[in-house]
Amino acid sequence: MKRVSIISVFICIGMAIFMFFSSQMAIANEPIGPSYDAIWEAQPAKDSSLVNIQDRIYQSFVQSFIQQQEQPISEIITELAVLDKEKNQKLIRYWMSYAEYYHSIFHLQNDNKEAAKKACMSSLGRLEKLKGKNSEDYALLAMVQSFAIQFVSPMKAPFISSKVKKYAEKAISIDDQNPRAYYVLGSNDYYTPEQYGGGKKVVEYLSKAIDLPEQAVSNPYLPSWGKQEAYEMIVKFFIKKEQWEEAKQYFQQGVEAYPENYQLNKLASKLVGK
Amino acid sequence: MKTILFFLGLFGYCFAQLPVSGKVIDQNGNPVFAVNVVLKADPSQGTLTDLDGAFQWDKLKKNDTLLVVFPAYQSYQITFSEVLENQPLLIKLKEKALSLEEVQIRARTPIADQFSVIKLKKLDIYLNPVSAADPLRAITSLPSSTNTNESANPSLRGSAAGRTRVVVNGVPIYSPVRNTQINGLGTFSLFNTELLDAQYVFASNPPLTFGNSSGGLVQIETQKELKKNSWQLSMSLASVGFFRNQQLGEKSFLQVYGNYQFSAAFTGIQPNSLGFLKSFGTRDVGLHLRTALNSNWSFSLMSYGIAEDYEVETEVYSYKGLATGDKIRSFHVAGLDWQGKSSGLAIRAGWDGSQSNYAYGNIKSHTKTVQEYASLSYKNFLNRKWTLQVGANYDGYGRSFDDTTSVYFFALDPSSPYQAIDTLARRPLLEGHTYVKFEPSESLHLAAGLRTNVPLGELDPFLSFQFSARQELGNGHSILLSGGRYHSYTVPGFFFRGTELLESNQVAIDYSYEGELSQATFAIFGKKENGLQNDDFFFIRRADIFGLEGSIQQELGRYSRFTLASTYLIHQIRFNVEGDVFKGSRDLPIFLKSGLSINPPKLFSINISYIGRPGTVFTAIDGGNFRNDLNAYEPIFNTEVNAERLPAYHNISVGLSKYKLTSYGSLVAFLSVNNVLNRRNPLAPLYNREYDSLDYAILSLRTFYFGLIWEINGK
C-alpha cells in the first residue's frame, strides 16, 4: 500500500511537471486557436486517436526505442492505415508517412538498413502520390526525401539534394509562413558539403524557421514540427563554426521555448566554459 | 413586471447562444478534416471538423463571426445572421490564390517545362561520359540524338541540325558550335557548362513559345543564383583558362571567363591520329550578369566573344588541298523581367555578329553575319490550373557573301574555273504566338499553342499549331503525347543562300520511368518534313521519318552506373514532293549508345562509353570522264541514289578523373582517350583523281587529352 502511495505521488509530481512544461511551451509558441482540452471536449470520440497525433507518433517511436521493439511505432501506422481505409483522408496519409519516417529511423538505429530503407521509401511513395499537395505535404516530402539520400547511390545524392530543395521551395511558394519548409531548406544546406556551395544559408533559413509560429492557428491534428529541430541545428551549426556567442544565444532561446527537448539539452555540455 | 420581462427577454436575446453545425467540403465535394472553426474576435475559442468534415459549436452569440481556416484554402466567415436553428451549413472551401513566391517560381520555370523529353542539370552534363563537359555534346548520348559526324550541333530524331534550334535565355543562337569545319576534331559548343542552370531538350514537337524550329529544340537557361565566390583555373594539353564566380551584394552576381586554345602540343604528340589537322586555335571570353533591380524587376546579360582559326587538309571528290579558315564572333543576350502578383512580362534582346574567311582550292569565301532579335512575352497565371502566354518576336538575320566559287562542283583545283558571287541574304522574321497550359490535377498537364508570322519581304506566311499532354502515372511512370505542325526558315549558307520555308508535321509518344535505381525511356515518333533543304550532297523537298527509341539507366552498386540507348530510324527522302523515295542520310537501322561510370570516392572516376551504328548511306560514283577544258575528271554517279553504305562506325572512349579536396578548394586531374581501339571510322566516301578507286575520309583516330582544373574558394 505504501509503495502504491509513493508511486501515486511520483505520478502526480510527474504530471504536474509535464503540465507545467506544457503550459510553458504553449506560452513560448503563442498558439492561436482552441486549446487541446477544448478539442477533446468538442470532438466526437472517433477522431480522438488523431488529436495531438504528431506527439503520439513521436512517443510511439520513443517507446520502440526504449523497448527495442518496433511494435509501438508499427502499431500506430496500422491504426492510421485502418482509419484511412475507412475515411480516406489525405491528412491521415500525411501522418502515416510521418510515422513511417520514424519507423525508418528506428530501424536505422538498430542497424537494419534494409528495413529502414523500405520504411523510408514507403513514406516517400505515399507522399509523392498525394493529390493536391499543400505546403505541409511538400515540407514533409522534402524532409523524407532528404532523409532518403543515405539510401541511394552517392552518384545520385546531388540530384536528390536538388529535389529536396525543389520540394521545400514549393512548400514556401504555397505558404511562406511554414516554418517546416525553412527548417528542411536549412537542414539541406547544413548537410551539403561546402565545396558544393553548402553551409551558406543555414542561418538564414533556420532563423526564419525559428521566427515563425509553429502553426498559424493552433490545431492538434496538423503538424507543428520543425521549430524545435531548427533550434537544435542552428546551435550545432554555430558550435561547428566555433561561434560560441551565437551558439549560446540560440541555445538559451531554444531551451526556454522547449525545455524538455532532449537533443537540444544534450548540446549544453559542448557550450560549457565557452 | 412586463418591463422587467422585456429587459430580461432583451438580456436573454443579447446573450442567446445559438448552436451552429455544418460540414466543410473542398472544391471537389470531399469532406475536409481538421479545419479550424474559430471565433473571429477570439480565435482561442472554437472547434475543428471531424473526419467527415462535420463540426458543431454551441456557443455562437449575436454579433459573433466564425472563421473557417485551413492551410492552402481561403478563410471563410460565418455570421450569426447566416445561421438558422437546426439547419446545418455546407461550407465549400476555395483554394487560396497563388502567392507571390509561387508566381515567381512559376514565372522562372519555362511554361513548357513538363513537355520536354529530358531536362539536364549541370551535374548531369559533368557526369555524362561522352559530354566532355560540354552541354550540347551531352545531348549526343541521348537516344533522340541522331548526329552522325561527331559534331556538337544537335540533330534530333532524324531532322537535320538546321531545323533544330538552340535557344539561350529565350534568344535563338544560330550555328551554336565552334570550329565547325574541322572534321574529326570533335567540335564543341559555344556554351560554358558552368553558366548553366538547366538545359531542356525537346527532341521533337518544339514548344511554340519559341519560333523558327521545325525539328527539335534545346532550351538553355543560365544560373539564377550563385552559391559561392570562387576562382577556377584550368590547364590542359590544348588550352588554358579561367573562370570567376563573384557575388555582387545580395541580389546580383557576375561570372567571367576566358580560354586560350592552342594546337601545337595536341597535334604534336599524336600527328598520326590527326594527320588531316594542321593547326587550330581559339580565344574566347564571356560574362554572365544577373541582378534583381527590385522585388518586381530583374535583369540578366550574357556576352560572349570568340576568335578562331584553323588549317585542315581536306579531300572533296578527287581534289586534296589545305583548307584555311578564321572567324571572329560575338553575341549578347539580354533579358528584362517584370513579375507581378499573377502575371509576368519578359523582354529579350539579342545581337549576334560574325565575320569569317575560308579558302580551299578555287573557293574563297568572306562572309559577314548579323542577327538581331527582340521579343516581348506576357504570361498570366489565371489560377493554379490555367496559364496563358502571348508574345511577339522579331528575328532578323542577314548574311553577306563576298565569294569566289568553283564553276563545276567537282573541279576544285585552284587552276580550275571559278566565278565571283556576291550575295546579300536577309530574313526578317516577325512572329506572334499564343500558348495555353491547363493542369486539371498535379498529374495531368495539357497544353496547346499557335504561332504565325507577318510575312515581311519575300517570306511566305505560315500557321503553326501544336498540342501536348503529359500524364504522370504514379510510381515514377509518365507518358507524353505531343503533335503539331511546325515551321522554320533555312539559314542562308554557302551552298544555299535562300530563305526557304520548311514545314514539319510531327507526332510522338514518349514514355519514361524513374525509379530508385533505374530509369527507362521509350519513344515512338513520326515526321513528315516539307521544304527545300539539303541532305548530305542533295537538295530534297520532302523527308519522311519514323523512329523508335529506348534507353535504360541502372545503378550498379553504390558507385557505378550503366546506360544503354538504342534507336531505330527510317529516314526517306524525295527530290520532289510526290517523287521516288530514297534512303536519307540518317537512315539507321540501329544506333547504339552505351556508357559505364564507376566513381569510387577514394580512387579514380572511370567513364567508358561506346557509340556504334551502321555507316551512313551514299551514292556510288562509277567512274570519271576526263575533261580537257578543266584538267579534271567529272564523276559519273550511279543511278541508284544512296544505295551504298559506308563501313560501320564504332567508337569506344575512356575518361579518367581524380577529384581531390584541398584546404583552399579542390583539384581535378583528368585524362581522356577518344577512339581507344584506333578504328578508322568513316566520314565520307573519297575517290582518287580518276574515280576508279574508293576510300573513305575518316574521323579522328585514337587521341589523348589530359589536364588539370584547380578551384579556389573565395570569400
For B161-201, what is each residue's pLDDT tens digit?
A: 889 999 999 999 998 988 755 343 446 889 998 899 999 99
Cell numbers that stand for B315 in this block: 579531300
More confident residue, A130 or B454: B454
Q: In the predicted model, is pLDDT for residue B320 greater than 90?
A: no
Band (pLDDT 50/70/90 cuts) for residue B94 is confident
- The residues, ordered by sequence, that sit 6+ positions from B84 with a Cβ below 8 Å of its Cβ are none
CB contact under 8 A, A153 and B517: yes
CA distance A149 to chain B (A): 11
CB contact under 8 A, B475 and A125: yes
Question: Which of B56, B104, B228 lies closest to A197 in CB terms?
Answer: B228
CA distance A36 to chain B (A): 10
CA B14 to chain centre: 69
Write the DSSP string, A210-257: HHS-S-SS--TTS--TTHHHHHHHHHHHHHHTT-HHHHHHHHHHHHHH
Return the biggest CA–CA distance within chain A: 65
Q: How far apart are the first and last CA of chain A?
A: 50
Task: Determine the length of chain B.
Answer: 715
Task: Determine the length of chain A.
Answer: 274
CA A226 to chain centre: 5
Question: Which of A43, A121, A222 lies closest to B516 in CB terms?
Answer: A121
More confident residue, B103 or A111: A111
The model scores a pTM over 0.90? no
Residues of chain B contacting A185 with CB distance shorter than 8 Å: none
Asked if the C-beta of A273 comes within 8 angstroms of chain B's C-beta atoms, the answer is no
Closest residue of chain A to B599, computed from CA coordinates: A155
Most B CBs within 10 A among A140, A174, A194, hence the mutation to make, goes to A174
Tens of pLDDT along chain A (274 residues) come to: 445 444 444 444 444 444 334 433 333 344 445 444 444 444 444 456 788 999 999 999 999 999 999 999 999 999 999 998 888 888 999 999 999 999 999 999 999 999 999 999 999 989 988 887 889 999 999 999 999 988 887 777 777 888 898 899 889 888 888 999 999 999 999 988 776 777 888 999 999 999 999 998 888 999 999 999 999 999 999 999 999 999 999 999 999 999 888 888 889 988 888 7
Asked if the C-beta of A69 comes within 8 angstroms of chain B's C-beta atoms, the answer is no
More confident residue, B423 or A46: B423
Asked if the C-beta of A7 comes within 8 angstroms of chain B's C-beta atoms, the answer is no
- The residues, ordered by sequence, that sit 6+ positions from A213 with a Cβ below 8 Å of its Cβ are A29, A30, A31, A177, A179
- Nearest-angstrom CA–CA distance, A217 and B38: 9
Residues paired with B666 in a beta bridge: B661, B711
Residues of chain A contacting B558 with CB distance shorter than 8 Å: 153-155
CB contact under 8 A, A34 and B227: no
Residues paired with B395 in a beta bridge: B373, B429
CA distance B34 to chain A (A): 6
